[in-house]
Structure 1
Amino acid sequence: MPLSSPSCSALARLTAGGFSIGIEAPLDNDWTPAGEHARQLSGRLPGEPDLQRHADLARLADNLGFRALWIRDVPVYDPSFGDAAQVFEVFSYLGYLAGITRDILLGTAAVVLPIREPLLTLKAAATVQHLSGNRLLLGVASGDRPVEYPLFGRDFDNRGNNFREQVALLRNGATSRLPSGLAVLPALSSPLPLLVAGLAQQSPDWIGQHMDGSLAYPGSPSDHARRIAAWRAVAGSKPYATFIHVDLDESPDAPLQRWRFGFRSGRDALIAELHALRAIGVDHVSLHFRRNRRPLDETLREIAEYVLPHFHTPISGQS
């Protein structure tokens, strides 16, 4: 089945060929010295990215063949965290991205279920699934910012139970909650692919049974080897995805300099790192560029030309 076919599930597209590479929004390198200087000049808040080119860069990533574009759910800016993510409301932004892209999968990393109204979350996810041609990957989480819960009238300590209840609702299309004759439209065209960030206050066994994939925090290959072993023990062959903060050096052979959540390197070391992650069982890696010093369009084009061909096997019928 062609990779771009709407009838091909988003999870099947994510793992087609055995390994894939995506990118994570926001598409700005505002965590660099030059980016920080530009932020101060513009009057943006600390951690608030420059979104002037977000649409052009999303289209470019789609056209270049990156497999997925991931966005985060940060409903309220908190200066103690200093990170506004991609600023836009997560489902509104997914709907917009669905309209300006064609093939790239659209993922959330991750929607904080316990602070959201369950029926509206279901309706929003089903809408994006429908409008995007079945490209939605619904990453979900229980949340880790206690300040948000009172704002939404939610109980932080009960977020684990709330998470389980909302997963059940997303799975059954709210049929267990609605009176006879009522329904949430649009109807799900296929089951929502649910990938979990962390454990979401659940046991590993529960996560392995009820989730379709894992969204793992960044780490080194040795970190992921341990996590993958634990994931496979409870989830079998379900996809394991992770993220890397990358600063791609202009020199192809620049050595890897590892830092927390990622590294600076040339493309040769990036290729080697991705090979190592694939070898230990990682199914998908999304690249994060807020610490990248070079222009992002230039970086995306280099990765598409020299890195993606090592990992993305051409699939018949892909546009």
Structure 2
Amino acid sequence: MNLSKLTSGPLTIGVELPLDNDWASDGQRQRLLDKRPFGVPDLSAHQSLAMQADELGFRALWIRDVPLYDPSFGDAAQVFDPLVYLGFLSGVTRNILLGTAAIVLPLRNPWIVRKSAASAQALSQNRLLLGIASGDRPSEYPLFGADYETRGHAFRHGVEILTGKQDRRLAPGQAILPETQPPPLLSAGLSQQSPQWIGEHMSGWLAYPGTPEEHMRRVALWWNVAGDKPYVSFIHLDYLDDAKAPRRRHRFGVQTGRDGLLRELEEMQSAGVNHIGLHFRRNQAPVADTLMRVAEDILGVFHETP
């Protein structure tokens, strides 16, 4: 059900947390006033913004896994641990899918990830999309007692546990509770695996942001190894008041108005993208205002009415 809801429309639109614009000029000034390090967002309105996205009809909330804040990377994501945060979000939202993009599986005990995911799945009434990854920050691995060079093997082992292929290790009567409908697994990138392995073992792919032309090439690869399984990506958006503002590309996204965003999304759809998560840390306008405007301008064009 989760995947069909994610893809029920020509293209569906979600949002990526944190719902903050701390990378924009005004956001940077506020960050300095608040004495927050670079990459640490303002979370004072996180609950109301998540609820707003749910009420406006965005299809999914995506949260990242950054176990260790490292100033050399400069990105703390949404700060909260994603597995804890999923439980909180499940209680303050009703309809929106809850996705991880993505849990760094080699740094976590996969049995605990499985139990946490089952808990979030039950608490949210089956709204979880479990994105997983091998991780790409070498400085985290020694601290967590994990080996960076063998993270691909650890990822495959973790997938076996998440999918029940290691349940033979459980003694009679033992179980991972709560028993729920297993959430779909989506890989962020290739997770140190071959495209064929990802296509066979994952329910969908979380692709890195790119232009429509770049996605066209990646989607062709994905379709070749995975058939019609969902292809998901993200746009770092700076949404302007001027509806006819041209598209200006920046790292991982665009600055544009209504017409330009519609064209960008139509081209993503034509490339074969099934879902786009919008990321607002570069957005100049207040995020609450932009959520409202995107809902009014964009969602009705793409989302099918249930």
TM interval, short-chain normalised? over 0.9
One-letter code of the match for 2:111? L
One-letter amino acid of the counterpart of residue 101, structure 1: T
Percentage identity across aligned positions?
Answer: 57
Could you give the per-residue CA deviations for residues 252-281 of structure 1, whole angstroms, max 9, x where no partner exists?
111100112001000110011101111111
Instruction: Give SS of 1:258's match.
Output: strand
Distance in 1 separating the partners of 2:252 and 2:231: 17
**Aligned position for 1:3:** none
Distance, in Å, in 2 between the alignment partners of 1:12 and 1:175 is 28
2: CA distance, partners of 1:283 / 1:117 = 31
Which residue, 147, 150, 154 being the options, matches 1:155? 147
Greater Cα offset, 236-245 or 149-158: 149-158
Report the counterpart of residue 302 of structure 2 in structure 1.
Answer: 311
Counterparts of 1:72 and 1:307, CA distance in 2:
25
TM-fit CA distance, 1:174: 4.8
- Is 1:191 aligned with 2:182? yes
Match of 1:239 among 230, 234, 239: 230
**Are 2:220 and 1:229 aligned?**
yes
The question of whether the paired residues in 2 share the 8 Å contact of 1:245 and 1:290 is answered with yes
- Counterpart-to-counterpart distance in 2, 1:259 and 1:77: 24
What runs of 5+ residues in structure 2 fail to find an aligned partner? none
Q: Distance in 2 between matches of 1:89 and 1:59?
A: 19
Runs of 4+ in 1 over 6 A off after TM superposition: none
| Alpha-carbon offset, residue 191 of structure 1 | 2.5
In the alignment, is the contact (CA less than 8 A) between 1:174 and 1:184 conserved in 2?
A: no
Give aligned pairs, total: 306
User: What amino acid is the match of 1:264?
Assistant: Q
Q: Paired residue for 2:30? A: 38
Q: Does 1:20 align with 2:12?
A: yes
Determine whether 1:130 maps to 2:122: yes
Establish whether residue 53 from structure 1 lines up as the match of residue 41 from structure 2: no
Q: Is residue 174–residue 183 contact of structure 1 (8 Å, CA) maintained in 2?
A: no
Give yes or no for contact 1:169–1:177 (8 Å, CA) kept in 2: no
Tell me what 1:11 maps to. 3
Give the aligned partner of residue 134 of structure 2.
142
CA distance, structure 2, for counterparts of residue 251 and residue 175 of structure 1: 56
1:283-308 Cα deviation digits (max 9, x unpaired): 00000000000011111111101101
How big is each residue's C-alpha offset from its partner over 1:141-186, in whole Å with a ceiling of 9 and x where there is no partner? Answer: 0000111111111111111111001101111175133222211111
Which position in structure 1 is the counterpart of 2:293?
302
Structure 1 residue aligned with 2:204: 213
Partner of 1:182: 174
How many angstroms apart in 1 are the aligned matches of 2:172 and 2:5? 36
For 2:289 and 2:254, how far apart are their aligned partners in 1?
18
**Which amino acid in structure 2 is aligned with residue 208 of structure 1?**
G
Contact 1:213 1:241 in 2 (8 A): yes
Instruction: Write the deviation string for residues 55-99 of structure 1: whole angstroms up to 9, x where unpaired.
Output: 000000000000000000001100000000000001110100000
Aligned to 1:62: 54
Partner-residue secondary structure (3-state), 2:168: coil
